[in-house]
Structure 1
Amino acid sequence: MNTKIRTLANNIDNLNSLCENLNFESQDGIDKTVSDFSEFLNGIMSPYFKVRPKVSTSRKKQDRIMPVIEDKPWFNDECKRRSNLYKKFLNVFNHSKCSTHHLNLVTAKRNYKLLEAKLKRNYKKQQGNMLEGLKRHNPKLFYRKFSSKRKVKPKATGKEFFDHFKRIASEINSEENSRNGNSNNDEIPVYEELDCVITNKEILCAISSLKRSKSHGIDGLLNEYFIEFQDMLMPVFSKLFNASVKDSIKSISVFCKSFVKATVELNMCSATTRLMINSNRSIAFILCAALSSLSSLSELRAETTTSNAVRNVYSESARLDRRVSHSVLNFVRRSSCS
């Protein structure tokens, strides 16, 4: 670790220069700033951190192919011999029906059926004991014995998802406007708690929830970069996030595209956002989690500032967050059942 810190300390001048030349005047400027920062960290830290290739946990295709199951796996040579003998006496009896041939047929059939029932009973008992042992000692192999269920894909598209909640938000806004006697839908409400400065304490709180040995996000930065070098990188984080907050007050869409993309990916799984936020692997995680006290509003802020139309749709999101959450859950349930 001393070598890593020493390497970053040797490049502290470049880091300070990068921090001073942060450009937040335009969308391209902030995108280039974040890209330069990511390349700077990766260029210095990549030799010291081993990136493991992603290994698929799914079984190979040949493992998923069910083996050919015989009709009667308990059928042994003796059972086959008695079956042939029974068929032989049956043909003889059909050609010449007499008491002797009938007695031979009944005896051969009884011997064949008794042996087959015994072998089948023993086979089923053996298979049951085998499955019971696998279930206790090797559950993975136990569940391989059964065919997997097909996953049902929801039929709702992204456009239908957006139109559904746009209609809900429009109805809610019209109700509020009629109740308050205000028909002006162009005014965007301002929430002071969302426009406050992001402090270093909030950023440190977000970094503390990052986990080691996790894959990186769309920015290519590992969690270990932020955990080990949080003190040196804090000035960049503070300027980067607070600049986005200040510009969002002016209603200028200067959020980094990688921030918005990662935030939207979290919002699309709103029912499990609380579980996913602890394992998200990107700078966007720090932007969202730094405002963890207002997590739902901060996620909506990062998404709504990208479009005026979407901003108007979710203008009352703070007051109606619980109602919209229930609508999301009901919509997903209907889509999955249809």
Structure 2
Amino acid sequence: MYIANSRVGNDEGIGKKTCNDTSVIDYLLLSSNLFPVVKEFDIMEFDPLVSDVHCQLHVVIQAPVILYNSNDELSQFCSEKYVKWRKEKCSEFLDNVKSDHDCQLEQLLLELDNLEVQQGIHQNEMNKVVERISNFFQSVATKTFGKYKPFKNRKPKSDNKPWFNKQCFDTRKKFHKARKRYSFIKNADNRKHMKNASKSYKIEISKANELYQRNIGNKLRQTKKSDSKKFWNILNSIGSNKKKGADPEISIEALYDYFKDMNRCDSNTEEPEVNFDVHNLSDELYNLLNGTVTEDEILKSVKNLKNDKASGCDKIMNEYIKCTVYDLMPMYVKLFNLVLDTGIVPELWSLGIMIPIFKNKGSKADPANYRGVTLNSCLGKTFSSIINERLNSFSDEVELISESQAGFRKRFFNYR
């Protein structure tokens, strides 16, 4: 920072006095790159109505204003945020889906019908259909839940003392007031009053802390078996209250290189031997793998979807699928069978948003101390679960996996 007095404006080379016409104690401080934008600077004449001994400083700064177009890539990315699902508005969301005032759903079904009879479907055509499905859900969600509104003017909240309530604040205020009075007038009465206020303050914070710890213990006991998600949220909130040291932050490039190397496929890996001819399957086994996706398979897969899970790049949440599974079943059946028959997977289903989560151990500058969690398309995961169920049934039917391999298999147990 530099002193701008005597360097810019009408005061350049002068250094006019600012206090009692004897000294310069009122300054304009600027960084070096701000000097060119100062258009006017002057020391005004002394005015007793404004100050007792100081002169006013007059400064005019003119800087270029950069206007961002709403079509910019960054603005467009930020505008894609959405509000969270609200369970109480499920029926309203479904009503908006059924109304379909813009005929988006009707056009989607017609487009899926055309692709089913079309020969030689291209990747772009499949991508456009899935993008239109995503846009349809987003328009319905915006109509139901409203647009995304970021929090503004949120005051920083300190969680170091979550037990510090209003009673603690009031008693602390009384203690500071008593201590200040004693610092001005030191007598026996003020000293006694200050000691009593200090004692009351210590008792109050001890009582508030004890009550907070008791409530946390009760909440943990109540939610341990009934609501595991709330249980872990309480535990995580307790851990976040601890003061953390100033660890160096890791760069996005280091995380990218680390996870890229971790997920690199080894081309020299040998494929396992198969004990049967995959090209000469019976009709029953062939239909088990490549048969038409049925409504029962979709319902079974959707039933296993969990709530309150983040969506992928297509912004379609599990709640959207679960809420509309019966009303939009024709669309789901046609889409999944189209992907299965053509073998063309939409690009949005292949893209994921990787979130690095710190393991709370080691240095934050080491990428090995981060766990990569990828957010994939919920609609794509629904289709994948159907294929996974078919593969598991097929492997059990042909005894592809040995009975000794019981890990993560249905109707199998590990004995120790």
After TM superposition, the score normalised by the length of structure 2 is 0.40
As a proportion of its length, which structure holds more strand? 2
Greater relative contact order (Cα < 8 A, sep 6+): 1
As a proportion of its length, which structure holds more helix? 1
After TM superposition, the score normalised by the length of structure 1 is 0.47
